[in-house]
Amino acid sequence: MALGTWGLSGDGYGPVEPPIQERVLRRALEMGFTLIDTADAYGAGSMERLVGIALADRDDVVVVTKGGTDRTTSPPRKRFDAPYLRDAVERSRRRLGRSCIDVYLLHNPSDAVFNDRQTVDTLLELKKEGKIAHWGVSTGDVGVVRIALRYGAEVIEIAYNLLHAANFHRVAGDLMVAGAGVLARSTLAHGLLAGHWSAHREFAEGDHRADRWTKPELERRVEQLAALRFLVHGDVMTLRAAAVRFVLANSLVSGAVLGPRSAEQLEELVREVGSGPLYMRDADLARLPQALEAAGVEI
């Protein structure tokens, strides 16, 4: 399990007070988390700074950060040209307090980024210079995953959960052949797979979920959860535990990225998920495709 920091930054679901952010980072390290996922765009760089402070005396934790969002313009724009990437990596290194970034991901690039070798060559130069150790992409685009792997991407970050697994399944063979590391994000589908929303749930201003689903879409998603309730039995005590266990049960997944917004949320989730390695019973995994298909979920 890995600690994600988008929600913690305040960008995704509304503001989070700095003392709470610091406590979550501290508690994750106390509990044994060894990978933290962040980005230079989260909190306009503030999240990288907080991660850097939390890891000031730790060299045993893998840091994954992302770049490619130019926030000096309004609205922000995507940039992956060589001069911008070099500057972005330098800024991230300073904020994180690290001479070498363990994993540097292009943040939602289009396939056009790979039309020439400029971006990849820059990343390879940064590796050679010891400024990044590994590179990859964070994307929801199957085409971008395949192109990036052909260019040698070492890590792919992609949405993967019980209700949104089709894209991952489409590139599973590519990932297997490439031997790339996989970070699965959106493991709880932005909170939906916690399993306690009503179909009439409303979201506050500043919460991206207010724009993610229309009212009918949200109602349909909540209804689909009924098809997953059979996963909650035995030592799988909650639907959210089943959701994380589903991701961890996939042998291609290197880490399931969790996005708690408080230390209490983090503790509860880790406690419920348990230590594995038997994350999900074979019988439940075998029944799952039919249950999802019957509920209208693309698999």
**Domain with 219 in it:** 2-294
pTM, to two decimals: 0.95
Establish if 299 belongs to a structural domain.
Answer: no
Q: Report pLDDT for 151.
A: 97
Distance, in Å, from the CA atom of 75 to the CA atom of 207, rounded to the nearest integer, reads: 18
DSSP β-bridge partners for residue 78? 69
- By the 8 A CB rule, do 81 and 118 touch? yes
Establish if 148 belongs to a structural domain.
Answer: yes
How many domains does the structure of the chain reveal?
1
Residues 6 or more apart whose CB falls under 8 angstroms from that of 67 comprise 39, 40, 85, 88, 89, 92, 104, 105, 106, 107
Distance, in Å, from the CA atom of 8 to the CA atom of 42, rounded to the nearest integer, reads: 9
Distances (CA, A) of 298 to 51, 72, 169, 291, 292: 36, 38, 11, 11, 7
CATH number at residue 201: 3.20.20.100
User: Is the torsion defined by CA of 216, 169, 69, 36 positive or negative?
Assistant: positive
Q: Report pLDDT for 130.
A: 98
Residues of the chain whose pLDDT is less than 50?
none
Distance, in Å, from the CA atom of 67 to the CA atom of 106, rounded to the nearest integer, reads: 5
Most distant CA atoms of the chain, gap in Å: 54
- By the 8 A CB rule, do 287 and 230 touch? yes
CA atoms within 13 A on the CB side of 243: 27
Single-letter amino acid code for the residue at 11: D
Establish if 250 belongs to a structural domain.
Answer: yes
Q: Report pLDDT for 299.
A: 84
- Which parts of the chain fold into alpha helices (H)? 6-9, 18-31, 46-54, 82-96, 118-128, 142-150, 166-178, 209-212, 215-224, 239-248, 263-273, 282-294
Distance, in Å, from the CA atom of 277 to the CA atom of 160, rounded to the nearest integer, reads: 19
Q: Report pLDDT for 216.
A: 94
Catalytic sites, residue numbers: 42
Q: Report pLDDT for 277.
A: 76
Establish if 282 belongs to a structural domain.
Answer: yes
Span 55-64, pLDDT tens digits: 998 999 999 9
Span 212-271, pLDDT tens digits: 999 999 999 999 999 999 999 999 999 999 999 999 999 999 999 999 999 999 999 999
